[in-house]
Structure 1
Amino acid sequence: MTQRPQAGAYRPERTILSLGDAFYDDVEPAHFPQTILRFRNQRWAEAVGLADLSEAEWLRHFGRFQPLPDNLERPLALRYHGHQFRVYNPDIGDGRGFLFAQLRDKAGRLLDLGTKGSGQTPYSRFGDGRLTLKGGVREVLATEMLEALGVETSKSFSLIETGEALERGDEPSPTRSSVLVRLQHSHIRIGTFQRLAYLGDAESMRRLVDYSLAHYYPQRHCEERSEAAIQAPAGLLRDARNDDASDASSAAARLLGHVAEAAAKLAASYIAAGFVHGVLNSDNIAITAESFDYGPWRWTPYWDGGFTAAYFDHAGLYSFGRQPEAIHWDVVQLAAALRLITEPEALTPALEGFPEAFQDALAEAVCARLGVVPKGATKDRELLVALEEALAAKSVEIDRFFFDWRGGGRRGPSPADAAYKAQGFASLRALIETYEASAALDHPYWSGDGPCSMHIDEVEAIWARIDEADDWSRFETKIAAVRRMGEAMAARP
C-alpha cells in the first residue's frame, strides 16, 4: 500500500466469508461510554469511498461499529496461533480487535478495516480488550511516518477516544482509552497458517492458500496458472486425486515465494527507514508482508544494530540489525506450516533466496531514500557497505544523513559537515557523488533546516501535551509535517 491514495467509490466486499466459519468467530463490539473523534484519515477515506461520511456517521461506524452498507453484518475475530519471541503459543487470536469490514480501492485491491481496542473476544484471555489512548496516538504517528518513508504499512484510519479509565502495569494509571481502526491489505497472518498446521487441517490450509493467492497476489496467480496450462501436455489424462495434490503443492510453493519476496522488501524498508518494529512475532507478520500492529516501536537515531524498541526484549531478538533475520525466521515458520500440503523440497528455493532478495531490496530502498538511480547489484552493494561503515560511527543521525545527501550530492551547509569531511566518510562521499539523481529537489522541505524525524523524546512530548492539557496541536502539527515530508519524498523531476 505504498502507492498514494486515489479517490474511489465505495465498493463493499465480504470475501472473508468464503473461507467459512472455521477461520473466525462472530463477536460483539464493546459499548463505550463516549466516542470522541481524535483522528480521521480523510486521504484514505477518499480512496475507499467513505470520505463523505458525516462526523456522526463516522462515529457510529468506527466507534459504535454499526455495519457499513452491504458489508459484514457482524464483526469477526480471526483465529490464529503464532511464535511469540520464538515460543509457540496456540492460545492467541484476535484478543482486542476484529475484522469490521472489507472493501476495494480504485485499483481493485481487497482491503480490510480491522480494529484494535474494540472489546473482548474468545481470545482475550485475561485482557480487557481495550487500547490506551497513548497506544492509539503512537500507532497513528508510526503509520504516518512509515507511509511517508515508503514502507508497506497498514494505515491508521480512525482513532476515537472512548471515555474509559484503564489500568496498565507499564504506564501511569488510570489512563485514557481509545479504539483504533486500521486499513490494510490483509489481516491474515503467518500465524493463521500455523494454526491450521497445528490442527492438521489440510483441507482448510488448501482453501486458505487459494484464497491468499487469488486475493492478495491475483495478477501473479493468473499469470502462473496460465503458464502452467501452456506447459501441460495436451490431452494427457491424469488421476484427479494426484492432480489436486499437485495443484495444492504448487500453489503452496508459489504463495511462499511471493510472501518471501514481499517480506524481504519489508525487512529492507525497515533498515532504510531506521525503524525498529519491536515485536516481529509470526502472528504480527501479515501474509501480504505489510507492516502492522505497532506496540513498542522506535526509530533508531543512529545506525546501531543493537538498538531495541521493546524494554522486554532483553536478548535483542528484534533489534534494528536483527530484523531481517527475524522476518526470515517467520517466513520459515510459514514454510513449516505449508508442509502440511506439500513436500519440503518445493519450499526450499523461496527460503534460500531470501538473503539475496533482501540485499537487492535494501539497495533499492536505500537508493530510493537517497533519491538516486540504482546502478546495479555490484555498485549498489558497494554503496551499502560504505554507508553502513560510515554511519556505524554514530557521528551523524540517520535522518540527517539522508536529508543532507538527497539526490546524490551535498546540498548546502549542515551541522554534520565536520563528520562528512572526516576520513570515515571518504569512501561513501566518493561513491554517492557518482550516482544520478532520480528525485526532484525543488520542494520547500529540502531547503528547510533539517529532516522530519520521529524519535521517542518528541513522541513522549506530543503525548504529554495530550495527557496533561488535552492539547492536540503538537500531534496535528506533527502529522502535517510528516505528510509534507512524504510529498517531498514522492516528488519526481
Structure 2
Amino acid sequence: MLQHPYLELPKSFFQPVWPEPQQNARLVAVNRALMQEIDCDLSDEQLLALTAGQLEDASLAEFDLQPLAQKYTGHQFGYYNPDLGDGRGLLLGRWEDKNGQAWDFHLKGAGRTPYSRRGDGRAVLRSVIREYLASEALFGLGVPTTRALSIATSDEQVQRETFEPRASLMRVTPSHIRFGHFQWAASKGPATLEFLTNFVVEHHYPELQSLEEPQRSAALLKTVCERTAVLMAKWQAVGFNHGVMNSDNMSILGETFDFGPYAFFDDFQIEYICNHSDYEGRYAYNQQPKIGVTNCQLLAHAFDKVLDEAAQNEALEAFVETYNRQYIDEMNCKIGLHTVQPDDKNLIGDLLVLMDQHRVDFSLFFRRLAKWNQPDEGELMTLLNQPGAFVDWFQRYDARLQQEGISESERQQRILAVNPAIVLRNYIAQGIIEAAENGDYQPLEQWVEALHSPFEEHPGLAEFQKPPSPEQKGLQLSCSS
C-alpha cells in the first residue's frame, strides 16, 4: 500500500495531477535487487501499470492513489526562478519496507503538469536509461544517490532533437524534498517554513525532534550542509560530473539527484565540462564543491528570518570542514593510504595536476596503481604518456608508503577495493541506449548487474576496461539527456 504523508504539507506545495498514460506500454527494465532491498512485492503487472502511468488499471484497485506534482523554486545557473516544480514527474506515494523505512515512488516522464512551462512533460528512452545506469553506478561505488526501480516504454514517439520512443521511470528515494522546497517555503513566510522544517525533521531527521527553535532549524541546516559536503567529496573522488547543479536539483538528504548530462571521467581534466549547454563552465568538475557551498548558502538564506548570521555561518563552515576531511580520506584510500598526514593534500593535489597536464585516464590510473613496482607495472606506465614527468611524484609516494608502514599486498588490496574495474563511461552508456532503442535490453541488464559490484574484474566486460579510443572520449551531452 502506498501512503502519502506529503499531503500533510500546505496545499501551496503541490497540485493533484493524473499522469498521461502510455498506451500499449511494456516493462523493459526492473531493478530486482532494489525491489528485494525495499521489500517491494508488486507484481510485474502492477509495476507496469504504475510505471506507465496507467493508474486506473484494475491491478491497482487496492491502492488509494493520489498523484501530485510538487511545487518548489530554485536558482538555475545562478538565477532565481520562481516558477519551478515537477514539470514531468509525479509523486505517487510512499512505500514502507519491513524495517519501517519509507521510500518515495516518483514517476518521471508522466506528462504535463502545471509546472511544465512549455514542455510536454514526457521522457524518452534515452534519458531514463541514462538515469537508471547512473544511479546504479553511483550506488555500486558507495555514493549517496536516488535509485531507479523500473522503466516502461511504448511505440509512442516524442520529439526532442529527433523523434524518439517515449519512456518513463520510477524513481525511489526516502525523500524528494529539495533545497528549492525551502526556498519556496521562505517565500511564503515564516509559518510555512516552520511547517516544512518540522515535516522534514519528523520524517527524515527524527533525531532532531527534541530540539526547540531556533536550535532545530540550525541543526537541520548544519546536517544537510554536512551531508552535501560528503556527497561533493565522493563525486570528486570517483570522477563524477553532475552537469546541472541548480539548487532545485539538490536533495535535503545529500543524495545525487536529477541526472541530466552527467559524465564519469575518461582522461582527467580539472576543468572538464560535461554539459555542452554550460558555456561558462559554472558546473565544471573543479567547480562542483564551490557550487555545493553556494547551494548551501541559498538554503541558509531560506532561514534568514529564523537563524542569525552566526548560525548560518556555522553550518557553512561545517560544509567546508566536512568536505576537506572527507575528500582527503577518499583520495588517500584511492592510493592505498588509511591514515592522514599534513602533506597528503599536496601529494594528492600534485598528482591531479600531473594527470591533468598529461591527460591521464582517471579511473584506470588509480586501479592500475596497484601494479606499481610489480612485474606488470608497464600497464600503469603506458597510461602516463610521459612517465618521466611522474618520477618525482612516485618517489614521494614511496616515502609516504614507508611512513604508512603497510605491506605491498595490503597496499594492492586497499587500492583494488575502492577503485572500480568497470566505469560507466559515456560511450558505454550510449552503446547500451542504442541497443535498447533497437529492442535489445540484454546489455542494459548485464551492465546494471555489473555496476552493483564494480570492484570485481568482470572478465566478460574486459573490452570495456581498456583505455577508450580518441573517438570514444569526451562525449558531451545536453540537458535533454
Bin for the TM-score computed over the shorter chain: 0.7 to 0.9
Counterpart of 1:461?
Answer: 431
**2:234 equivalent among 250, 258, 269:** 269
Counterpart of 1:194?
Answer: 183
**1:97 equivalent among 72, 84, 89:** 89
Counterpart of 1:29?
Answer: 19
Q: Is the 8 A contact 1:72 1:101 kept in 2?
A: no
The letter for the 1-side match of 2:50 is H
TM-superposition CA deviations, 1:15-38 (whole Å, max 9, x none): 222223232111111121122111
For 1:108 and 1:411, locate their aligned partners in 2 and report how far apart those are by CA, in whole Å.
52
For 2:61 and 2:338, locate their aligned partners in 1 and report how far apart those are by CA, in whole Å.
46
| 1:301 Cα offset (Å) | 1.5
Q: Is the 8 A contact 1:97 1:119 kept in 2?
A: yes
| 1:377 Cα offset (Å) | 5.8
Counterpart of 1:64?
Answer: 53
TM-superposition CA deviations, 1:353-375 (whole Å, max 9, x none): 322211111122224445x4531
Q: Is the 8 A contact 1:276 1:309 kept in 2?
A: yes
| 1:305 Cα offset (Å) | 1.7
**2:400 equivalent among 427, 431, 435:** 431
Q: How does 1:320-331 map to 2 (within 5 A)?
A: 320-331=285-296
For 1:79 and 1:424, locate their aligned partners in 2 and report how far apart those are by CA, in whole Å.
54
Counterpart of 2:451?
Answer: 482
State the Cα RMSD in Å.
3.0
| 1:442 Cα offset (Å) | 8.0
| 1:139 Cα offset (Å) | 0.8
**2:42 equivalent among 53, 60, 64:** 53
TM-superposition CA deviations, 1:207-237 (whole Å, max 9, x none): 1111212222223x15xx3xx6xxxxxxxxx
For 2:81 and 2:433, locate their aligned partners in 1 and report how far apart those are by CA, in whole Å.
33
Q: How does 1:361-376 map to 2 (within 5 A)?
A: 361-370=326-335, 372=336, 374-376=338-340
| 1:94 Cα offset (Å) | 0.4
Q: Is the 8 A contact 1:115 1:179 kept in 2?
A: yes
Counterpart of 1:350?
Answer: 315
Q: Could you say what secondary structure the match of 1:484 adopts?
A: coil
Counterpart of 2:479?
Answer: none
Q: Could you say what secondary structure the match of 1:475 adopts?
A: helix
CA gap of 1:44–1:25, structure 2 versus 1, over 3 A, is same
Q: Which moved more, 1:339-348 or 1:34-43?
A: 339-348
Q: How does 1:413-452 map to 2 (within 5 A)?
A: 413-418=377-382, 419=384, 422-423=390-391, 425-426=393-394, 427-431=396-400, 435=404, 436=406, 451-452=421-422
For 1:439 and 1:299, locate their aligned partners in 2 and report how far apart those are by CA, in whole Å.
27
Q: Is the 8 A contact 1:13 1:71 kept in 2?
A: no
CA gap of 1:472–1:410, structure 2 versus 1, over 3 A, is farther
- Could you say which structure has the greater relative contact order, defined with CA pairs below 8 angstroms and 6 or more residues apart? 2
Task: Confirm whether residue 392 of structure 1 aligns to residue 382 of structure 2.
Answer: no
For 2:179 and 2:119, locate their aligned partners in 1 and report how far apart those are by CA, in whole Å.
23
Q: Which moved more, 1:16-25 or 1:122-131?
A: 16-25
Q: Is the 8 A contact 2:370 2:411 kept in 1?
A: no
Q: Is the 8 A contact 2:2 2:65 kept in 1?
A: no
Task: Confirm whether residue 213 of structure 1 aligns to residue 201 of structure 2.
Answer: yes
Q: Could you say what secondary structure the match of 1:453 adopts?
A: coil
Counterpart of 1:243?
Answer: none
For 2:33 and 2:68, locate their aligned partners in 1 and report how far apart those are by CA, in whole Å.
26
Q: How does 1:146-157 map to 2 (within 5 A)?
A: 146-157=138-149
**2:262 equivalent among 297, 313, 321:** 297
Matched residue count: 446
The letter for the 2-side match of 1:465 is A
Q: Could you say what secondary structure the match of 1:416 adopts?
A: helix
Counterpart of 2:441?
Answer: 472
The letter for the 1-side match of 2:368 is D
Counterpart of 1:240?
Answer: none
The letter for the 2-side match of 1:366 is M
For 2:167 and 2:375, locate their aligned partners in 1 and report how far apart those are by CA, in whole Å.
43
Q: Is the 8 A contact 1:79 1:93 kept in 2?
A: yes
The letter for the 1-side match of 2:381 is D
Counterpart of 1:113?
Answer: 105
CA gap of 1:295–1:387, structure 2 versus 1, over 3 A, is same
Q: Which moved more, 1:402-411 or 1:300-309?
A: 402-411
Structure 2 stretches lacking a partner, 5+ long:
459-481
| 1:44 Cα offset (Å) | 1.2
The letter for the 1-side match of 2:183 is Q
CA gap of 1:19–1:105, structure 2 versus 1, over 3 A, is same
Identity percentage over the alignment?
Answer: 28
Q: Is the 8 A contact 1:194 1:337 kept in 2?
A: yes
Q: Could you say what secondary structure the match of 2:55 adopts?
A: coil
For 1:63 and 1:411, locate their aligned partners in 2 and report how far apart those are by CA, in whole Å.
54
TM-superposition CA deviations, 1:177-212 (whole Å, max 9, x none): 10011111211000001112223x211100111121
The letter for the 2-side match of 1:252 is S
For 1:391 and 1:69, locate their aligned partners in 2 and report how far apart those are by CA, in whole Å.
57
**2:70 equivalent among 67, 75, 78:** 78
Q: Is the 8 A contact 2:268 2:359 kept in 1?
A: no
Q: Could you say what secondary structure the match of 2:107 adopts?
A: strand
The letter for the 2-side match of 1:217 is Y
Q: Could you say what secondary structure the match of 1:187 adopts?
A: coil
Task: Confirm whether residue 183 of structure 1 aligns to residue 183 of structure 2.
Answer: no
The letter for the 1-side match of 2:13 is F
Counterpart of 1:237?
Answer: none
What TM-score, normalized to structure 2? Answer: 0.85
TM-superposition CA deviations, 1:436-457 (whole Å, max 9, x none): 58989789x969xx93122222
Q: Is the 8 A contact 2:25 2:52 kept in 1?
A: yes
For 1:101 and 1:295, locate their aligned partners in 2 and report how far apart those are by CA, in whole Å.
24
